[in-house]
Structures are given as structure tokens and as C-alpha cells.
């Protein structure tokens, strides 16, 4: 056979790249030439897609097939699988879905299926499964994301805007910051590694470029974080105890109020409830004054520093930014509310380069001066079941069907789930306290998973359908926001093993369940791809933008939409500032709510009517530190996306268990050497990790990134270094019910 070498550009969550295909095999990748700062995550792809951990054929758990009515559920995760031909496995799955639907109703099917899956707009895995379940009568869904669940609830109450809309369309852009901002106060930093990825792919990775310009312009960059590396170099690092930012911000607010360094006119005209908050702040409600000395005791940053910072930020154009990580913790609503309150006290909301911002650096695209544009989405259809759970309450849902719980002013009831269908997510990566999820996961009758790899979730399923990766099928790619590239994602290689597209799997299931026409609308994959593109082209035509036809996009491989030329420079809250009556916010008062009557009316002790410092169950000031003296933060992995491509990394010698950052002084006390395998543990579980000693983390804090494939040995210890063997699984509060991964104390032991 002739040796054929082809190069094609495609897109991925970690950016566009060039794939090199030799004799039908993807052998290597090259950076995309338009990307000024490409990352090296794509280099893992060739190894990962042909890895022995790919699911090669439809597989059904033996205990489920032979276990009678109970399905030997206790074996889930420790059982063997039987491979079956596609037709047989699809018949069995369809019969089971039909049995559950007929006996218990669609309200007993959980199709929330949270997860990032792959880039590509048509084959978006969660949309595929949800459209299928919709076509057969609906499913129990989810609210919010693991990324920003608490923010998605609190921000509409206080700023009257959908959080994701705020992120991409109403924040100061990088050029506006460069031009106007004098002080950039970054809570949780602006992480240079996290902006490597974006849902759907951030094509041009520009954040580090912007930061070097900020350094050149001598903008005061202040990183308030447990880790120095949470911000690019050039920032002053103020190490803070995790979970205590609200106390720190209150200390600053106290100083602003008592020294009269705040903008009272702004507070009067644009906000509601400051006077009530002030009573709390000054301790005039009978409580403790929240002065800088009080704050120092909690957050560990010196009162003097808090005072000087208060003066500094009141005297210069200041943008306060808050990473998403701060709300991924118990009471995660509070730092978001308090940061907004602080920005309001400075009176700079609505001024260019001032005010408040969230999630710069969390993913690529945030801060880019490019108008977000929609389109190119495979429609989900209308779900006939309205029931949902807050995304991170999955273990509670499985453990406590019928139980009542609070969420954002509602009293809700957990559904009784008999069947779970997951497609494009890895709950045994993303959820907290995985040992407990492992037990809760035994409750449903049946779990079906579509997955390219034998992940911890696939191993805990009853029916596993091998799914193709985005390199094995044709699609269109476009980032979630801040990007103006459209990619034709060609089918680069034939499906690996016997893998099929999710669309094929759901088309076949819908055929068996009588909803084929609803699910497919009579189109095959190719026809859907061109239909979605045609709709997109028509949509742009209406605003006078001519996109080339699909044939040309395929030929060229990628195009840009000329939105950059239309100069998008968001001026967040500027219209509101110019006329708060005509341009009122969509809050009950029309103003920024420092006190929310609505939230107060819910009567939650864990989320009052104004921002407050509430002691979390686990933090460096709690009694539990006697047993578990270290605070564990579990950030995103820098070398990949979540648990994706993990198999390629785990094969690298000494890459696993995952490195954990430990302060040099802590290591000295523990007599731990650099590179030593240690055990991290608490009452919820234990895992191994590889020590990496540094002075760039606050003493008492350790940092173990997420992403290792959860694998427990016969003694119950997770061996790859997965922090979710240890993390805390309670809702952020009754308001947001978001995940609280960062609220975790642990201890460390040497391994004998
Ligand atoms: N401790 C702790 N835990 C966390 C976090 C934290 O900060 N700390 N962060 C949380 C956050 S913000 C997030 S977003 C979550 C991420 O959690 P997830 O989004 O669940 O993680 P991924 O590893 O991206 O899972 C995607 C899965 O989809 C599969 N997949 C890819 N393409 C396809 C496809 O085309 N079809 C199908 N069927 N499957 C496909 C991949 O193989 C992978 O297993 O983790 C959360 N967990
Ligand atoms: N390379 C790569 N990039 C990613 C991802 C990935 O998997 N890999 N995942 C993407 C996803 S889904 C998301 S949601 C975003 C997440 O973006 P973020 O939520 O912003 O990022 P994290 O990495 O979870 O946390 C950033 C830092 O916050 C600090 N931190 C933790 N708790 C606290 C606290 O209480 N106070 C303060 N001040 N700092 C604290 C920790 O030191 C941590 O390193 O990242 C995205 N980017
Ligand atoms: Mo996320």
C-alpha cells in the first residue's frame, strides 16, 4: 500500500491543532499557526486514542445480565463484562429503557449527564443523550455546572443577570483593562494554565500575552491565593487561607467605611441595603466588628496589609476579579456577593477598567474583545419532565429518594431514579467524596454509559457502548465565547475498535423505542452537519455577514467570522451607571443588591440577606485541624483537561500517583522528601500522591489537581492520586447547592 501522509486542522477543547495522519493512523500533532501561545495537550492525543483502555465493543456487566431482579448491583464496579454484538446490546438496552419507562415513568430516568465530552457542535454528547431521552418522553435533568453552580444562583439575585451572559458579554475586556486599570486585585489569581482550555476550543491563547503587557504598563497586579502560580509572574502574592476570602474582603470594607474611603453617592444611587450591611460590618448589630485585626485572625493576611490595600484600591482605578474556584466551596456564594459589595463601595462599577469581574483565566476567551455569537447547536428538544436536581447533588439524590431539600427558595423533593444514562461526562472524576458516590451508585436498577475509554464511570456501568472520539467522525467546531473561528472538523481516522458515534447509538435506540423520526428528523450525521451550518449561515446573513458555503469551509478547514472588525468593547454596567432608572438592573429593586429582601425571605441561616463570613465545616481555623491539619485544594490539572487523555499521562514513568504540592517547611516537619510517595487521608477516604515540595504554596495548604482515574486498591486507598477520594460533598448552601470541593481538610502520612 502507498504510504499516505495527510495533514488536517481540527479543533478541541484545548485549542485547534494540526493532525498528521499516516496510512490512516493519527501519528502526531502540530500547533495551529494562528495560535500565538499553543499548548502541548494535543500531543497526548495519538497515544490516548489507540490506548488499550479504549472500549472496543458493546459490553454488559455479567452480574447485571445474570443477576435476576436485583442485577447483582453490589458488584457494580467490581464485576466482569461480557462483550456482545451491537444489535444484541442495543436490543437489551432498549428493552430495559422501555421497562423502566413503562413501570416507573420518565421521571425515574436521570439524564443530567454532566460533563465536557469533546469539542464539536453536532456530536456534543450531552445534547445527544438529552435529545434522545426527550424523544422518548423526557428525563430528570440538572441545574448549573460544577464550574459555577453557586455563582449561577447568587449573581442573578444581586446583579440581575445570567452568570454566563455576564462572563462573556458584560466584562471589561483585556484592552480596556490595559488602558484603564491601575490595580488588578485577583482573588484566586488569573490562572495562566486554566485559560489553555475552553468549551469548544479557544483558538488563540492570549492571556499570557496580555499579562506581560500589564506588567509593562506597571499595573498593580495582586494575587490573593493559597498558591503563587495561580497568577502569571509579575504579580504580588498575598497568600490566603482557603475559604477565608470573605473575611479578608470584610476587613477591607471595614477600613473603607471607618476611614470614609468609600463612594457613598454611588451606594445611594446604585445599590440597595448598604445601611443594613453596615450594621453587620461595624458590629452594630451586636456582633463582632469586622476590622482588619479580626480579618487577619481568620485569613492569615496581616491587618497592616489589609489597611494599606484598602487605601490603595480606593485611590486608583481598581478591578476586583474573582476566580470560579472561590465559589466551589462551602458558602461559595459569599465571596461573590462580598466582592461585588466591595466593588460597589469603591464606586467604580460601570467605569472602564473598574468594578468587578469573574472567571478571567478560568477558561480561554473570557476578556477577549470579541462578541459572543450563538448558533451551530444540535437542538435538544423540549423535555416533558420538568424535574431536575442542582448538578452536584447526585449522591444525595441517589441516597435519599423522596427526601425534601432546599434550593434557591424552593422546597424540592429528590426523585426516585431507576435508570441513569450518562454520555460525555465522568462523574467518577467530577464528583466529590467518590467513595460515598461509589456506594450511592449501587441504588439504581440500571446504568448505561457511552464512553470511548474504560473510565472509572464506564467500569461502574451495566451497559457500556463504545463511543467514537471527535477524531473519528465529522463535525463543526466553535468555542463557547470570545473567539471568532469556525472549524470543519474532518473525520481524521476510522473508528477505533467497534466504536460508533453517539448519534448512531441513539438513532438505533430510538428506532427500537419508536421515536426514530423525532430524534433524527430524517437526517443522518452528514445531513445534520450541513443543516446546522446552513442555519448558521442564514443567521449571519440576516446581520449582513456573508459566510462561505460548507463546501468551501471543508476545503479551507477553518474560517473566521468577521466580528472582530465590528469592534466589540463591552462596557459593563455603563448604561446602568449613566441612568439607573431607565437602565435598571433585573433585580427586584432594579439596583445592585447588597441586601436582598428576596434571599432574606428564604430564611436560610447559611445565606442571609447580605454577605457575611460564615465559618465552613472544614478550614484551617476549625477544630478538625487537630486531626486533619492540612487544607487540600484540588485545582484543574495543568497538563490536560479533567480526566481526559489521562491514560496517555498515566503511562509516563513516575507521572502517577499525581504530584501534590507541599510547602517545604511542612515537608520538613513531616520528614517528606521531594518525589516521595505519600498517603493523604481523612474520614472520607485516602489516596496516594507524589510529593512535590515548593515555597510557592501557603504553609498548611496542599494542592492536588484533579484528573487521575479513580482506582481503589484492596485496602480502600485510591492509588492514582485522585483528590475526590477526599473531598467534601455538601451543597455550598441551601441557596446555591453547588459543589464544595475546596472545603477539605486532610492529613498526610509517610508510607512505611
Ligand atoms: N475536587 C474537584 N473536583 C472537581 C473540580 C475541582 O475543582 N475540584 N472541578 C469540577 C469541574 S469545574 C468540572 S467542569 C468537572 C469536569 O468533569 P467532567 O466534565 O465529567 O470531566 P471530563 O474528564 O472532561 O469527562 C468527560 C468524559 O467524556 C468522555 N468523552 C469525550 N468525548 C466523548 C464523546 O464524543 N462521546 C462520549 N460518549 N463521551 C465522550 C471523556 O472520555 C470523559 O470521560 O470536574 C469537577 N470536579
Ligand atoms: N489546563 C486546564 N485548564 C482548565 C481545566 C482543566 O481541566 N485543565 N478545566 C476548566 C474548567 S471546567 C474550569 S471550571 C476552570 C476552573 O477555573 P478556576 O475555578 O478558576 O480554577 P481552579 O484550578 O479550580 O482553581 C484555581 C485556584 O484557586 C485557588 N483557590 C482554591 N480555593 C481558594 C480560596 O478559597 N481562595 C482563594 N483566593 N483561592 C483559592 C487554588 O490555589 C487554585 O489553584 O478551569 C478550566 N481550565
Ligand atoms: Mo468546570
Which ligand 1 atom sits nearest the alpha carbon of residue 328?
Answer: 7
Predicted pLDDT of residue 172:
95
pLDDT at 496 over 90: yes
Average pLDDT over residues 408-436: 98
**Ligand 2 atom index nearest CA of 224:** 38
Q: Is 429 in the pocket of ligand 1 (CB under 6 A)?
A: yes
**Confidence check: pLDDT of 218 > 90:** yes
Query: Per-residue pLDDT tens for 624-661?
Result: 999 999 999 999 999 999 999 999 999 999 999 999 99
pLDDT band at 2 (very low <50, low <70, confident <90, very high): low
Is residue 27 pLDDT above 90, yes or no? Answer: yes
Q: Is 324 a catalytic residue?
A: no
**707 alpha carbon – ligand 1 mean position (Å):** 9
Could you tell me where the beta strands, DSSP code E, fall in 378-441? 388-390, 404-407, 410-413, 419-423
Ligand nearest the Cα of residue 421 is 1
Spatial separation of the C-alpha atoms in residues 441 and 435, rounded to whole Å: 10
In the predicted structure, residue 156 carries a pLDDT above the cut 80: yes
Would the CB of 116 count as within 6 Å of ligand 1?
yes
Q: Which fold has domain 149-371+570-602?
A: Dimethylsulfoxide Reductase; domain 2 (3.40.228)
Distance separating alpha carbons of residues 352 and 662, to the nearest angstrom: 39
Q: Could you tell me the distance, in angstroms and rounded to a whole number, from the CA of residue 176 to the centre of ligand 1? A: 33
The residues, any chain, with a CB within 8 Å of residue 560's CB and separated by 6 or more, are 484, 485, 486
For atom 2 of ligand 2, which residue has the closest CA?
194
The residues of the chain that CATH labels 3.40.50.740 are 59-145+378-552
What would the mean pLDDT of 246-251 be, rounded to a whole number?
A: 98
49 in contact with ligand 1, CB cutoff 6 A? no
Q: How many residues does the chain have?
A: 752
Residues 248-266 as b/e (b if ≥16 CB within 10 A, e otherwise) read: bbbbbbbbbbeeebbbeeb
- The packing angle between helices 333-346 and 274-282, to 10°, is 110
| Residues in contact with ligand 2 (CB, 6 Å cut-off) | 147, 187-188, 191, 193-194, 196-197, 224-227, 230, 240, 242-243, 245, 323-326, 329, 362-363, 633, 635-638, 641-642, 703, 742
Cβ–ligand 1 contact at 121 (below 6 Å): no
Give pLDDT tens digits for 347-402.
999 999 999 999 999 999 999 888 777 789 999 999 999 999 999 999 999 999 99
Q: Distance between CA atoms of 271 and 321, rounded to whole angstroms?
A: 20
Centre of ligand 2 to C-alpha 733, Å, is: 20
Provide, rounded to the nearest whole percent, the portion of the chain with pLDDT above 90.
91
For the segment 707-725, what is each residue's pLDDT rounded down to a tens digit?
Answer: 999 999 999 999 999 999 9
Cα(327)–Cα(337) distance, integer angstroms: 10
Span 556-584, pLDDT tens digits = 999 998 765 555 567 889 999 999 999 99
- The helix (run of H) or strand (run of E) holding residue 271 is strand 271-272
Q: Which pLDDT score is estimated for 573?
A: 95
Q: How far is CA 447 from CA 91, 412, 416, 444, in A?
A: 15, 24, 14, 7
Position 655 scores a pLDDT of 96
Residue 291 and residue 126: Cα distance in Å, rounded? Answer: 48
Residue ranges of the chain assigned to CATH 2.40.40.20: 623-750
* Closest alpha carbon to 392 in 127, 728, 166: 728
Ligand 3 centroid – CA 738 distance (Å): 12
Report the alpha-carbon distance of residue 17 to residue 378 in Å, rounded. 24
Take atom 43 of ligand 2 and give the residue whose Cα is closest. Answer: 635
Residue 571 has a pLDDT of 80
Taking the CA of 361 as reference, the closest ligand is 2
Ligand 1 closest atom vs CA 148: 12
Residue nearest to atom 47 of ligand 1 (CA): 430
Q: Report whether residue 144 contacts ligand 1, using a CB cutoff of 6 Å.
A: no
> What percent of the chain is predicted at pLDDT more than 70?
99
What contacts 87, CB < 8 A, 6 or more positions away? none
> Does residue 434 surpass a pLDDT of 60?
yes
Q: Which three cell numbers stand for residue 355?
A: 468594578
Where do we find the cell 485510591?
A: 718
- pLDDT tens profile 658-677: 999 999 999 999 999 999 99
Tell me what the mean pLDDT of segment 462-470 comes to: 98
Q: What is the pLDDT of residue 238?
A: 98
Lowest mean pLDDT among 76-90, 96-110, 201-215, 448-462: 201-215
Place 480 in a pLDDT band, splitting at 50, 70 and 90.
confident
Contacts 24+ apart (CB under 8 A), 667-670: 667/691, 667/693, 670/748, 670/750
Residue to mutate (ligand 1; options 113, 120, 146, 197; most atoms within 8 A of CB) = 146
Q: What is the mean pLDDT of residues 290-306?
A: 98
| pLDDT for the residue numbered 410 | 98
Q: Ligand 3 centre from 378 Cα, in Å?
A: 21
DSSP percent split of the chain into helix, strand, coil, nearest 5: 35, 20, 45
> CATH code for 59-145+378-552?
3.40.50.740
User: For the domain bounded by 623-750, which CATH number is listed?
Assistant: 2.40.40.20
Ligand 1 within 6 A of 727 CB? Answer: yes
CA distance 294 to 316: 25
Spacing, Cα 147 to ligand 3 middle (Å): 4
Q: Are 417 and 401 in contact (CB under 8 A)?
A: yes
> Contact, 424 vs 505, CB < 8 A?
no
Ligand 3 centroid to Cα of residue 376, in Å, is 22
280 catalytic, yes or no? no
Does the CB atom of residue 712 touch ligand 1 within 6 A?
no
pLDDT of 740 over the 90 cut: yes
The residue behind cell 503587557 is: 213
Query: Cα separation of 73 and 59, whole Å?
Result: 16
The one catalytic residue in 14, 64, 114, 503 is 114
Mean pLDDT of the chain: 96
Dihedral angle over CA of 480, 481, 483, 487, nearest 10? 20
What is the whole-number distance in angstroms between the Cα of residue 506 and the centre of ligand 1?
21
CB distance 266 to 347 below 8 Å: yes
CATH 3.40.228.10 residue spans of the chain: 149-371+570-602
Distance of CA 383 to the CA centre of its chain: 24
502-548: pLDDT as tens digits: 999 999 999 999 999 999 999 999 999 999 999 999 988 887 888 99
Of all protein residues, the one whose alpha carbon is nearest to atom 39 of ligand 1 is 424
Amino acid at each position: 500500500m502507498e504510504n499516505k501522509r495527510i495533514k488536517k486542522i481540527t479543533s478541541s477543547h484545548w485549542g485547534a491543532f494540526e493532525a498528521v495522519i499516516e496510512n490512516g493512523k493519527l501519528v502526531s500533532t502540530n500547533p495551529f499557526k494562528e495560535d500565538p501561545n499553543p499548548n502541548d495537550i494535543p500531543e497526548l492525543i495519538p497515544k490516548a486514542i489507540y490506548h488499550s483502555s479504549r472500549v472496543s465493543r458493546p459490553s454488559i456487566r455479567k452480574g447485571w445480565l445474570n443477576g435476576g431482579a436485583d442485577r447483582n448491583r453490589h458488584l457494580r464496579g467490581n464485576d466482569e463484562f461480557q462483550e456482545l454484538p451491537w444489535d444484541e446490546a442495543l436490543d437489551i438496552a432498549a428493552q430495559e429503557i422501555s421497562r423502566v419507562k413503562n413501570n416507573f415513568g420518565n421521571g425515574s430516568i436521570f439524564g443530567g449527564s454532566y460533563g465536557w465530552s469533546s469539542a464539536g457542535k453536532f456530536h456534543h454528547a450531552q445534547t445527544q443523550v438529552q435529545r434522545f431521552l426527550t424523544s422518548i418522553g423526557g428525563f430528570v435533568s440538572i441545574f448549573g455546572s460544577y464550574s459555577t453552580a453557586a455563582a449561577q444562583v447568587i449573581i442573578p439575585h444581586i446583579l440581575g443577570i445570567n452568570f454566563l451572559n455576564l462572563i462573556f458579554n458584560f466584562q471589561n475586556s483585556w484592552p480596556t483593562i490595559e488602558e484603564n486599570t491601575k490595580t488588578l486585585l485577583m482573588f484566586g489569581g488569573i490562572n495562566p494554565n486554566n485559560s489553555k482550555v475552553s468549551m469548544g476550543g479557544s483558538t488563540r491563547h492570549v492571556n499570557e500575552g496580555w499579562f506581560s503587557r500589564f506588567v509593562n504598563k506597571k499595573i498593580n497586579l495582586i494575587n490573593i491565593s493559597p498558591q503563587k502560580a495561580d497568577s502569571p509572574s509579575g504579580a504580588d502574592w498575598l497568600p490566603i487561607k482557603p475559604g477565608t476570602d470573605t473575611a479578608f474582603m470584610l476587613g477591607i470594607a471595614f477600613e473603607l467605611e471607618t476611614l470614609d474611603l468609600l463612594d457613598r453617592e454611588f451606594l445611594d444611587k446604585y445599590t440597595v441595603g448598604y445601611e443594613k450591611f453596615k450594621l453587620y460590618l461595624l458590629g452594630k448589630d451586636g456582633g463582632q466588628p469586622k476590622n482588619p485585626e479580626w480579618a487577619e485572625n481568620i485569613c492569615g493576611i496581616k491587618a497592616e496589609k489589609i489597611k494599606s490595600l484598602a487605601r490603595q484600591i480606593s485611590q486608583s482605578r481598581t478591578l476586583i476579579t474573582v476566580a470560579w474556584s472561590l465559589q466551589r466551596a462551602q458558602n461559595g456564594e459569599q465571596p461573590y456577593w462580598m466582592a461585588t459589595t466591595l466593588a460597589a463601595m469603591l464606586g467604580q462599577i460601570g467605569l472602564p477598567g473598574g468594578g468587578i469581574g469573574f472567571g478571567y483565566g478560568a477558561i480561554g476567551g473570557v476578556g477577549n474583545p470579541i462578541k459572543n455569537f450563538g448558533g451551530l447547536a444540535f437542538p435538544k428538544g423540549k423535555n416533558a419532565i420538568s424535574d431536575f436536581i442542582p448538578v452536584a447533588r447526585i449522591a444525595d439524590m441517589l441516597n435519599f429518594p423522596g427526601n425534601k431539600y432546599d434550593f434557591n427558595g424552593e422546597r424540592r423533593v429528590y426523585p426516585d431514579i431507576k435508570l441513569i444514562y450518562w454520555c460525555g461526562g465522568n462523574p467518577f472524576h467530577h464528583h466529590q467524596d467518590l467513595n460515598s458516590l461509589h456506594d450511592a451508585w449501587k441504588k439504581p436498577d440500571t446504568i448505561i454509559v457511552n464512553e470511548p475509554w474504560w473510565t472509572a464511570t464506564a467500569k461502574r456501568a451495566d451497559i457500556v457502548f463504545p463511543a467514537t472520539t471527535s477524531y473519528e467522525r465529522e463535525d463543526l467546531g466553535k468555542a463557547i465565547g470570545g473567539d471568532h473561528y469556525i472549524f470543519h472538523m474532518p473525520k481524521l481516522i476510522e473508528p477505533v475498535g467497534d466504536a460508533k458515534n453517539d448519534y448512531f447509538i441513539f438513532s438505533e435506540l430510538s428506532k427500537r423505542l419508536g421515536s426514530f423520526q423525532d430524534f433524527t428528523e430524517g437526517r443522518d450525521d452528514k445531513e445534520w452537519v450541513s443543516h446546522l451550518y446552513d442555519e448558521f449561515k442564514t443567521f449571519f446573513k440576516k446581520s449582513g455577514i456573508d459566510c462561505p458555503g460548507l463546501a468551501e469551509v471543508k476545503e479551507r478547514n477553518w474560517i473566521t467570522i468577521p466580528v472582530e472588525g465590528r469592534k466589540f468593547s463591552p462596557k459593563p454596567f455603563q448604561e446602568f451607571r449613566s441612568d439607573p432608572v431607565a437602565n435598571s438592573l433585573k433585580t427586584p429593586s432594579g439596583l445592585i443588591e447588597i441586601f436582598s429582601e428576596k434571599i432574606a425571605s428564604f430564611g436560610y441561616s447559611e445565606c442571609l440577606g447580605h454577605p457575611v463570613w460564615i465559618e465552613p465545616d472544614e478550614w484551617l481555623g476549625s477544630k478538625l485541624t487537630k486531626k486533619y491539619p492540612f487544607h487540600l485544594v484540588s485545582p484543574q490539572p495543568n497538563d490536560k483537561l479533567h480526566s481526559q487523555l489521562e491514560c496517555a499521562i498515566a503511562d509516563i514513568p513516575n507521572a502517577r500517583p499525581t504530584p501534590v504540592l507541599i510547602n517545604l517547611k511542612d515537608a520538613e516537619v513531616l520528614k517528606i522528601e521531594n518525589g516521595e510517595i505519600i498517603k493523604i487521608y481523612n474520614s472520607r477516604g485516602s489516596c496516594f500522591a507524589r510529593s512535590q515540595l515548593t515555597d510557592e504554596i501557603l504553609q498548611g495548604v496542599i494542592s492536588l489537581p484533579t484528573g487521575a482515574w479513580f482506582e481503589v486498591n484492596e485496602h480502600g486507598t485510591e492509588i492514582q492520586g485522585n483528590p475526590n477520594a477526599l473531598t467534601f460533598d455538601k451543597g455550598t448552601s441551601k441557596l446555591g447547592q453547588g459543589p464544595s470541593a475546596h472545603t477539605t481538610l486532610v492529613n498526610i502520612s509517610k508510607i512505611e
